Structure 1
Amino acid sequence: MTISADDSFQSVTTALAEGYMIAYPDAKIEVKNTKEDIAFLNLLNKKSNIIVMSRDLSAKEIAEYEKQIDLPFQPAKFAADAVLFVVPKESSLNSISYEDIQKELLSEDKKLIFDGTNSSNLNFVAQKFGKLPSSLNYSIISGNQNVVEQLSKYQDKIGVVSLNTFSRPYSKEAEALRAKVKVLAIEKNGKTYEPNAENLRNMTYPFTRVLYFLTSDGTFGMANGFIRYSCTQLGQIVVAKEGLQKFNLYSREVQMY
């Protein structure tokens, strides 16, 4: 089975795939790094069994999905991620306002650096401001990790990356990436929000996004088995270990004797 996932959330998708293959050793899953818009086209053309999305589909896209796939549109939500705005560690900047981000997206200075066109980060931010990605001004460094690693060369720029790029709390690689940048708090309506667990859980961080699966498989085969696994308690434990907010919360009962 093939899963198409944007670079922004490939880590959590790969972790879920590995967890599923441990639970079901006969299963073979390949996670392909695919830009979000391209992944959706791959699903419509049935080149992928499952894709991961973060932005809302338009009514036209939903209609096309239901026409091409011949299934009702039922997004399987499994995690809350976030789009982060980061600066070099040495920067004096600690926060940025929601309005200033919008201004920068319309400025010729191209101060914001995204990980590429057709990417989930760009799509989501554009959708937040009610804009088409093609109408925005920005710079590009290909790949979330590369944005973080190369940002120090551009002291006056702001990188735009996913939380999942370096959210894994027990990963030395993620720790090294976190050490390279400072995450900016977002000011909106007189309040300041950081992308912490509470603000993701309450969806109060302005750029919180919900990750969800779409599949082209209408049977009870491996694709839907993987989706069920990801959304139930075992999969949600994997999501938490990735440093993201679980979408489905399960009560924990403790019996004391």
Structure 2
Amino acid sequence: MKLTKIKTVLGLVAIMTIGLSFTTDKITVKGSDTMVILAQKWAEVYMSKHPETAIQVTGGGSGVGISALINGSTDIANSSRPIKPSEVEKIKARYGTLGVEIPCAKDGISIYLNKANGVSELTLKQIADIYTGKITNWNQVGGVDGKIKLYGRESSSGTYVYFKDYVIKKDYSPACQSLPGTAAIVNAVKKDKFGIGYGGAAYDSGVKDCKVKKDADSPAYLPTAETIKNKTYPITRYLYMYLGSRPTGATKKYIDWILSAEGQKICTQVGYFPLK
């Protein structure tokens, strides 16, 4: 049975299907752009072992995925942030349940810098001050004289919400340029020697990961398997799958496989981190 080529748009949206005439089960997965690389690989490996199942994976952002779950157009919503109480209420109205939350992997939010940037570490407070516009020049954090260029995600992104709620804890600076995906942020920082961005650790190709310190007196850490496992890297988070109700049939089998040792091993193969 032939697996069609994976199609990507700006590296963010992937759709995978296999010969539908031979399949009996279809599963749709939509949401987090951060999770697309991982979700692609899970689906690809699972379908190779279970040709009776067709899995379609698309990105668009955590908010887009959860909205699709609420309106019934996806089976699984991938999210890089916890679900909001307002979204739970909407799920309750549609499904008569509070929904199902399934942590499926861990991730570290990397702070991307251009490779020519002399700055190699920042505290959480400095990162917050940069993204709220309090710090505007690299010479304020030990770098060269140059105006800091801010790159971030659009508001439908779970990473945008998580970074706002848990790192900067205020509104983003109006100077922050919103881009339609993590790959776009990496590409912008790669080309801009004064740029800074953020996103999943799996996307850091071509840029420099900045070491992050909890505070001025703490050691600085890079997002690695070890520092994320033991939570010494200060910006560590869970990645989630959300469903309207308890999974059954093919969807349950797929989720059980994702949470198995085989499924979790794939996390490390593509730059993410297993739950254990």
- Which of the five TM-score ranges fits, normalised by the shorter chain? 0.7 to 0.9
Q: How does 1:123-134 map to 2 (within 5 A)?
A: 123-129=161-167, 131=169
SS of match in other structure, 2:248? coil
Structure 1: gaps spanning 5 or more residues: 167-177, 250-257
Structure 2: gaps spanning 5 or more residues: 1-26, 137-147
- Quote the residue 1:241 is aligned against: 269
- The residue identity in structure 2 corresponding to 1:163 is A
2:172 aligned with 1:136: yes
Task: Give the Cα–Cα distance (whole angstroms) in 2 for the partners of residues 130 and 155 of structure 1.
Answer: 22
Q: How does 1:31-180 map to 2 (within 5 A)?
A: 31-107=57-133, 111-129=149-167, 131=169, 135-137=171-173, 138-166=176-204, 178=205, 180=206
SS of match in other structure, 1:147? helix
- Contact 1:11/1:165 (8 A) holds in 2: no
**CA displacement, residues 150-169 of structure 1 (integer Å, 9 cap, x when unaligned):** 32432212021211225xxx
Task: Give the Cα–Cα distance (whole angstroms) in 2 for the partners of residues 238 and 20 of structure 1.
Answer: 11
Deviation at 1:129, TM superposition (A): 4.0
* Structure with more relative contact order (C-alpha pairs < 8 Å, separation 6 or more): 1
Deviation at 1:213, TM superposition (A): 0.8
Q: TM-score, with normalisation over the residues of structure 1? A: 0.83
Q: TM-score, with normalisation over the residues of structure 2? A: 0.78
Task: Give the Cα–Cα distance (whole angstroms) in 2 for the partners of residues 130 and 141 of structure 1.
Answer: 18
SS of match in other structure, 2:193? coil
SS of match in other structure, 2:100? coil
SS of match in other structure, 1:29? strand
Call closer, same or farther: CA 1:62–1:204 in 2, change over 3 Å. Answer: farther
Superposition CA RMSD, Å:
2.0
Task: Give the Cα–Cα distance (whole angstroms) in 1 for the partners of residues 163 and 60 of structure 2.
Answer: 18
Task: Give the Cα–Cα distance (whole angstroms) in 1 for the partners of residues 169 and 87 of structure 2.
Answer: 17
SS of match in other structure, 1:28? strand
- Quote the residue 2:236 is aligned against: 208
SS of match in other structure, 1:30? strand
- Contact 1:78/1:212 (8 A) holds in 2: yes
Task: Give the Cα–Cα distance (whole angstroms) in 2 for the partners of residues 144 and 43 of structure 1.
Answer: 22
SS of match in other structure, 1:3? strand
Task: Give the Cα–Cα distance (whole angstroms) in 2 for the partners of residues 58 and 24 of structure 1.
Answer: 34
Query: How many aligned residue pairs are there?
Result: 234
Call closer, same or farther: CA 1:8–1:193 in 2, change over 3 Å. Answer: same
- Identical-pair percentage: 21
**CA displacement, residues 67-101 of structure 1 (integer Å, 9 cap, x when unaligned):** 32233443111111111111111110101110011
- The residue identity in structure 2 corresponding to 1:71 is T
Task: Give the Cα–Cα distance (whole angstroms) in 1 for the partners of residues 247 and 270 of structure 2.
Answer: 29
Task: Give the Cα–Cα distance (whole angstroms) in 2 for the partners of residues 90 and 210 of structure 1.
Answer: 31
2:45 aligned with 1:9: no
- The residue identity in structure 1 corresponding to 2:249 is G
- Quote the residue 1:227 is aligned against: 255
Deviation at 1:53, TM superposition (A): 1.2
- Contact 1:114/1:121 (8 A) holds in 2: no
